[in-house]
Amino acid sequence: MAVYALTGFSLVSLLSFGYLSWDWMKPSLVANVAMDPMEKSLPPAFARPPHIIFILTDDQGYHDVGYHGSDIQTPTLDRLAAEGVKLENYYIQPICTPSRSQLITGRYQIHTGLQHSIIRPRQPNCLPLDQVTLPQKLQEAGYSTHMVGKWHLGFYKKECLPTRRGFDTFLGSLTGNVDYYTYDNCDGPGVCGYDLHEGEDVAWDQSGKYSTFLYAQRVSKILASHSPKEPIFIYVAFQAVHTPLQSPKEYIYRYRSMGNVARRKYAAMVTCMDEAVKNITWALKKYGYYDNSVIVFSTDNGGQTFSGGSNWPLRGRKGTYWEGGVRGIGFVHSPLIKRKRRTSWALVHITDWYPTLVSLARGNLSNVPGLDGYNVWPAISEGKESPRTEILHNIDPLYNHAKYGSLEDGFGIWNTAVQASIRVGEWKLLTGDPGYSDWIPPQTLTNFPGSWWNLERLTDGLRKSVWLFNITADPYERYDLSDQRPDVVRTLLMRLVHYNRTAIPVRYPAENPRAHPDFNGGAWGPWASEDDVEEWEGIGEPLKSRNKKKKCKICKLRSFFRKLNTRLMSNRI
């Protein structure tokens, strides 16, 4: 099992590592930028709209940062967090696309139709085009906007691409995971293609460069070519530390005493990413941005435990609605923060960054009503109470229904077979199948208390579809209180009913063989024709009646490509 694969780490190995120190406060790294005479009368904080750097890592576990007691070295993240504000009541989504869509739109998945799974490479699907994105709002506020890294919000037509959704420039991948050096991605046997793009073109010339370094270098280049007098937003969505587990050898060597191979490679990738963040911070100082900057760091979901990640001591892993899947690493580092060097327990969700950052940029939120996020800057900067009191983790009507759930178990108001989760105040409710539910210890622990470890195994056989936890008192979700507090269960079920009434239909179309990279020059990229776009205009809703002759042509075209695709795959096999 995965848990046994994570054991076997010796604490002695931790002592053998040298702490990666770096002099990031060196005066020579800060460019001397002259201030306009008119600005000398303004207060130093927010004399201009701040530069915003949003760093998102992929599949980094809750335990996998130094200040959470990890065996992995992250000196940069530790120092940035220590000198800023650590967010220890911060929530994200359990998988890639949902977190990214909620960051970019400020809306829950149920309000964008992306409440089920991820956007897959061959699906004619993307972030709904009627959504005004975070970078678009920042462009309105006068910002230069740039994206570096993983998109994973759909690309079946050009209108879905990052450069059409608010980013002035883009360097990165469109799909969910690629090789860190070759940028190849296979979506099944024989369905492989290249996925690194510069703007709307395929970046063939960048192949062979390790993505973590490539992305950090691109950020430095952007900063070097931009004026610090003009506001800039850079969204850095590292591919790290998602599989495949690949890292330069010198980083793996530092963890050579780790017995578990997956953990060793994973640790190397985390430390490499930490060094990339160091280089980005250095560039902010060198080119004169730092004093008027806000750096936000966030993970996108819980760590994948069978791929080296650890969410200890939280329950669950990536892809689950247990805390190990949805509680993230998060912090804000900025000279503009009024109360620095502290830990915040204010409730914050990834949707909150949209209104928070637009407000910091002095942008206009009046024309984007119905956001699910809140402006949490006063809570972060001044230590005020968070305006957020609840979080809808999700409602997924398409996920496999729990075998023992029913409307009766939900007091006649909610079918508990449906996968859903919500946090209200200190209470958290889960219904349906929340996903893999074990606590997986870090490999530094060779002997683990059997009673706690066996707790879930003792309840595995029970016919359950409802769980209730007091997350404030029990952040590790050890004690299910659903039987003791049916009143709280009913109250939270009513909140689920409320949210479900506002949900739009799920957007999860069937895969289309026309997306095969072999039909697109060997690379993943936009592939839909005008007829396709018209037919899929109402994804998630009943298709409108169309001309039968046109439908017949589309069907024949699909049949042709399906047969061609089958022949290609059989030849490769």
Q: What are the tens digits of pLDDT across the range 308-352?
A: 999 999 999 999 999 999 999 999 999 999 999 999 999 999 999
Contact 422, 492 (CB under 8 A): yes
Predicted confidence (pLDDT) per residue in 360-378, tens digit: 999 999 999 999 999 999 9
Kindly indicate the confidence band of residue 462, based on its pLDDT and cuts at 50, 70 and 90.
Answer: low
**For the domain bounded by 389-503, which CATH number is listed?**
3.30.1120.10
Per residue in 156-184, pLDDT (tens digit) is 999 999 999 999 999 999 999 999 999 99
pLDDT at res. 463: 80
Mean pLDDT of the chain: 86
Continuous H helices in 322-409 = 323-326, 353-360, 377-381
pLDDT the model gives residue 546: 31
Tokens 């599989």: give the residue: 243
Strand partners, 145: 233
Q: Are 220 and 279 in contact (CB under 8 A)?
A: yes
Give mean pLDDT, residues 424-449: 80
- Whether residue 90 contacts residue 348, with contact meaning beta carbons closer than 8 Å, is answered with yes
Strands 51-57 and 232-237 come out as parallel
On the question of pLDDT at 243 being above 50, the answer is yes
At the topology level of CATH, where does 49-388+505-534 sit? Alkaline Phosphatase, subunit A (3.40.720)
Residues above pLDDT 70, as percent of the chain: 81
Give residue 447's pLDDT band: very low, low, confident or very high (50, 70, 90): very low
Check pLDDT > 50 for residue 521: yes
* C-beta of residue 260 within 8 angstroms of C-beta of residue 443: yes
**Tens digit of pLDDT for each residue in 191-207?**
999 999 999 999 999 99
Please give the span between the terminal C-alpha atoms of the chain, in angstroms, as a whole number. Answer: 31
Q: How many helices (H) and strands (E) does the chain have?
A: 16, 18
pLDDT at 535: 58
C-alpha closest to that of 438 among 480, 400, 478, 399? 478
pLDDT over 60 (residue 459) = no
The pLDDT score that the predictor gives to residue 532 is: 65
pLDDT for res 24: 36
Contact assessment for residue 215 and residue 172, using Cβ atoms and an 8 Å cutoff: yes
Higher pLDDT, 27 or 286: 286
Categorize the per-residue pLDDT at 10 as very low, low, confident or very high, splitting at 50, 70 and 90: very low
- Of the ranges 14-23, 443-452, 511-520, the best mean pLDDT one: 511-520
**CA dist., res. 223 & res. 226, Å (int):** 5
Pairing verdict, β 184-186 and 201-202: unpaired
DSSP letters along 247-278, please? --HHHHHHTTT-S-HHHHHHHHHHHHHHHHHH
Contact assessment for residue 373 and residue 407, using Cβ atoms and an 8 Å cutoff: no
pLDDT value at 34 more than 70: no
Active site residues: 96, 152
Domain ranges of the chain: 49-388+505-534, 389-503
H or E element at residue 203: none
Residue 392 has pLDDT above 50, yes or no: yes
| Short-list 97, 92, 93, 94, CA closest to 119 | 97
- The reported pLDDT for the residue numbered 531 is 65
Report d(CA 196, CA 214) in Å as an integer. 11
State how far the Cα of 301 lies from the Cα of 328, in Å rounded to an integer.
Answer: 6
| pLDDT of 259 higher than 70 | yes
Residue 207 identity: S
pLDDT band at 117 (very low <50, low <70, confident <90, very high): very high
Is the per-residue pLDDT at 30 higher than 70?
no
Quick check: helix, strand or coil at residue 94? coil
For residue 284, pLDDT over 60 is answered with yes
Residue 28, pLDDT > 50, answer no
DSSP-derived pairing of the beta strands 85-87 and 390-396 = unpaired
Q: Look-up: residue for tokens 């929340």?
A: 434
Average pLDDT of the segment spanning 52-66: 98
Q: Residue 2 and residue 217: Cα distance in Å, rounded? A: 35
Residue 536: pLDDT above 90?
no
